[in-house]
Structure 1
């Protein structure tokens, strides 16, 4: 009986994690596309949204905080090459 409850809880967590992970990936993809397009006005906005999504995912435990920090660092490095 406890294993049935565990299975239900794990399914709920899996669904939530997948939603958060997909939303985060989408934001990162939009930011990267904005960086490659070269539009500096929209790039800053998209990068901020992506950084926020990564922080949210790390806070919820969907991804590890070091993973979020690494992705944020790489995204900012790409964004900074645009401004130079």
Structure 2
């Protein structure tokens, strides 16, 4: 049986690949000029807050934490790039 992508387990951690895709998409949209900088900042703010909460979760396994920390650093670097 394959998992139904439309059903989400409310207790599960968000998939790192989806969060990575979100950060990458914002970066691509900013680079191409297809999104307002203020909108990109708002999206990044939400992503950074979400990633920060995940990294701070004491129940998060260490191997997962390192992936979220790396993505959090990438999102922060993109935010600094937008602030220039």
| TM-score, L = length of structure 1 | 0.52
Task: Describe the shift of the 1:30–1:50 C-alpha distance in structure 2 as closer, same or farther (beyond 3 A).
Answer: farther
Residue of structure 2 in register with 1:49 after alignment:
46
Classify 1:53/1:24 alpha carbon distance in 2 versus 1 (closer, same or farther; 3 Å): farther
Taking structure 2 as the reference length, what is the TM-score of the superposition? 0.52
How many aligned positions are there?
68
3-state DSSP of counterpart to 1:51: helix
- Tell me, in whole angstroms, the C-alpha distance in 2 between the residues paired with 1:53 and 1:26: 14
The match for 1:28 is: 23
Query: Between Structure 1 and Structure 2, which shows a larger proportion of helix residues?
Result: 1
Aligned-CA RMSD value: 3.2
Q: 1:56 & 1:27 partners in 2: Cα distance? A: 17
Runs of 4+ in 1 over 6 A off after TM superposition: none
Contact kept in structure 2, 1:32 and 1:75, CA below 8 Å: no
Consecutive unaligned residues of structure 1, counting only runs of 5 or more, are 1-12
